[in-house]
A and B are shown apart, each in its own frame.
Chain A
Amino acid sequence: MTESAEQANASATASADGQAAGGNGRTPVLSLRNVCKNFGAVSALTDIELDVHAGEVVALVGDNGAGKSTLVKVLAGVHQPTSGSISFDGKSVRLADPSAALNLGIATVFQDLALCENLDVVANIYLGQEKDPYHLDEVSMEVRAWTLLNELSARIPDVRDVVASLSGGQRQTVAIARSLLLDPKVIMLDEPTAALGVAQTAEVLNLIERVRDRGLGVIMISHNMEDVRAVADRVVVLRLGRNNGVFTPDASNQELVSAITGATDNSVSRRAERQRAAQPVAEEVQA
């Protein structure tokens, strides 16, 4: 069974590689080569390769423990890679701490959003980046906050409301607006739709498309294949800390799930099999 799984993965990688090479001749804005990260004896990431182009949504999928969050933390400057190289805008860079990543133009929206609920929207967007430290320039901060939110066509009733009074989708919007404050080139979203309802999820996916249309590279982590397929231009699968294939969003659910889990025999594949088996019969009946 393992053998067959590896075969399936190998073929998926081959086909996706060919697609990716044909689709993009430009230099990627962010590119990782052979990135490894060890925590003691545990290899959380092994030889990771990842390219993100401007105006592209790359979905990062994988099972629990696949290394998605570690990869995000490496790119956010929270962890430093054990080996491998990261290049940004064609130049090799070192992300020593979170502010280094931020100043370079890599913004991160963490899964728990990291908002202060007791502060209003403007204060949250500008947290740590306030203008005029000894006499806060509230007017220009408020104007910029409205501009950012309007660019995202966000629906926030009042930027002077505390974040505690906002819905989950609105909070996600505030977190994304905050990450855009410093005009980043790449924005990473960790599980942006995990805690959201149907309408709010749609809102956030719209938001991701708008961010992409502004020419930013987007890395989106998600467990939800529907969401991934809705907005992603490429789907990068991680498994046990290694690359396990690059797919196009129209790849079948079965392909994605087997790449993620490493198993070809599961409920998704069984159902696909049953459907395939049923199809000729149906055609015969129609005929």
Chain B
Amino acid sequence: MDYRITQGPGLTEAALSGRLTFNDYEKMRLLMRDLGAAPARHVTLRLDGLEFVDSSGIGMLLIVKEEVEQKDKTLDVRGATGQVLRVLTVADLGKVLDLRP
């Protein structure tokens, strides 16, 4: 998995791409550190480029949400498609994550 962070007025956007699996846990830790350090109050995770997420990936996304909120920021998740969208839907994560198209 790879990620790219862009800063906008009041918004930090992190675009994930590739496959999100357990082996990406250290990269996700770096992402959490970078998002926590960003000045904007709102964070958007864009999953358009994410092809696959396994169960540990889901766990990591939930941890990202916790870490971001602990820094008094808000988070939404956008652009999930294919297998990623199916997993998020079956897991009913719309109740936990702010899922947007």
Same assembly? no
